[in-house]
Copies of this chain bind each other. A is one copy, B any other.
Amino acid sequence: MKPKSSKSKRPAASPKPAPPRTGESASDAAASGAGAELRMRSEFLWAAQARPTRGPKPTMDRDDVVRAAMGIADADGLVALTMHAVASALGFTTMALYRYFPNKEALIDACVDAAMGLPPAPRASGIGWRRQVRHWAHAKRAMLCSRPWLAELPFVAAPHGPNWLSWHEALLTCLVGLGLTPEDMMDMLSVVHGYVHGSSDTAISLARSRARGIPDEEWAAAVGADLGRAIGDPRYPVLSAILTSASGGLATGGSLPAKAGKPRTIDDSFFWGLERVLDGLAEYLEHRRTDFVTIR
């Protein structure tokens, strides 16, 4: 069945009751309260697409839809990601998508997980946890910057899909064999993950700006405009002092050298901070007590 074809219309059978869309049942649809919604999103995200045997073959599958949607988001950001845009990129009507995803949110959930992709293959395990974690952190940051539209989504409340778990698994793998308790491993994960996410906003903002074709100078001007207002304002004495001092500006990547000395780029700052975080974890690893149950 090729898209946009049949036009004939004739009265047919009587109205059927609502057909079960998008298969997979969403088992406890009428589950308790509002919290069930999140569980249903998670369930859908993990459910494999059940290929029923009866009717006509679906012309596409969820991955096709997700790919099309990601293409749009990559090209024009989240605002451009409408059901209509996705559908017509695939050559279908808007409503056809609802055979594959119960709603837009579910599609976006799938896009988010797909966009994360798989984490980098683990390095040789002999190189030590620190280099492995560093590698992971760099990769994660690069991933976030390469899909700036991820940061246009709400910060919380998306269900965690397979790839999300893979990234976590990858980091935990770096920590195996250090004699850490399960709790410590999760906490260390949380520290690294938290730092990487939380401190990438500037870089993502720049990446997003670039993806939209805005020159670096213009981005720096826009971001700098905010900070610049601090200068001279009595509410921000320290910030003023810093911004008016040498190299107070924002270097986007070497292209905008700060006023003096070594121009520190956004990436430099990230790397610097990462080393501080790793230092903190290293110190813990040296001094912790080890008389617990550990993950070997």
A38 within 8 A of B: yes
Number of copies: 2
* Cβ 8 A contact of A152, one of B156, B214, B241: B156
Residues of B contacting A222 in the complex (Cβ-Cβ under 8 angstroms): 35-36, 38-39, 42
A1 within 8 A of B: no
Q: How many residues of A contact B (CB 8 A)?
A: 92
Nearest chain B CB to A49's CB is how many angstroms away? 17
**Known pairs A156-B204, A195-B191, A295-B245; A221 contacts B169 (CB<8 A):** no
Residues of B contacting A33 in the complex (Cβ-Cβ under 8 angstroms): 213-215, 218
Nearest chain B CB to A253's CB is how many angstroms away? 16
* Cβ 8 A contact of A194, one of B151, B198, B281: B198
Residues of B contacting A205 in the complex (Cβ-Cβ under 8 angstroms): 156-157
Q: Does B155 contact A151, Cβ atoms closer than 8 Å?
A: yes
Residues of B contacting A138 in the complex (Cβ-Cβ under 8 angstroms): none
* Cβ 8 A contact of A198, one of B196, B215, B226: B196
- Interface positions of A from 13 to 49, Cβ below 8 Å from B: 32-36, 38-39, 42-43, 46
Residues of B contacting A248 in the complex (Cβ-Cβ under 8 angstroms): 182, 186
- Interface positions of A from 219 to 250, Cβ below 8 Å from B: 219, 221-223, 225-227, 229-230, 235-239, 241-242, 245-248
Interface 9-residue window, one of A4-12, A84-92, A127-135, A271-279: A271-279
Q: Does B183 contact A194, Cβ atoms closer than 8 Å?
A: no
Q: Does A239 contact B168, Cβ atoms closer than 8 Å?
A: yes
Chain B residue at smallest Cβ distance from A237: B169
Residues of B contacting A169 in the complex (Cβ-Cβ under 8 angstroms): 230, 235-239
Residues of B contacting A46 in the complex (Cβ-Cβ under 8 angstroms): 229
Residues of B contacting A198 in the complex (Cβ-Cβ under 8 angstroms): 193-199
Chain B residue at smallest Cβ distance from A268: B187
Residues of B contacting A186 in the complex (Cβ-Cβ under 8 angstroms): 242, 248, 269
Residues of B contacting A201 in the complex (Cβ-Cβ under 8 angstroms): 155-156, 194, 197
Q: Does A152 contact B157, Cβ atoms closer than 8 Å?
A: yes
Q: Does B39 contact A225, Cβ atoms closer than 8 Å?
A: yes
Chain B residue at smallest Cβ distance from A258: B183
A93 within 8 A of B: no
- Interface positions of A from 169 to 207, Cβ below 8 Å from B: 169, 172-173, 176, 182-183, 185-188, 190-191, 193-201, 204-205
What are 19 A-B contacts defined by CB distance under 8 Å? A33-B218, A35-B218, A35-B219, A42-B225, A152-B157, A153-B155, A154-B154, A156-B205, A165-B236, A165-B239, A169-B230, A169-B238, A186-B242, A186-B269, A191-B195, A193-B198, A194-B198, A242-B295, A276-B281
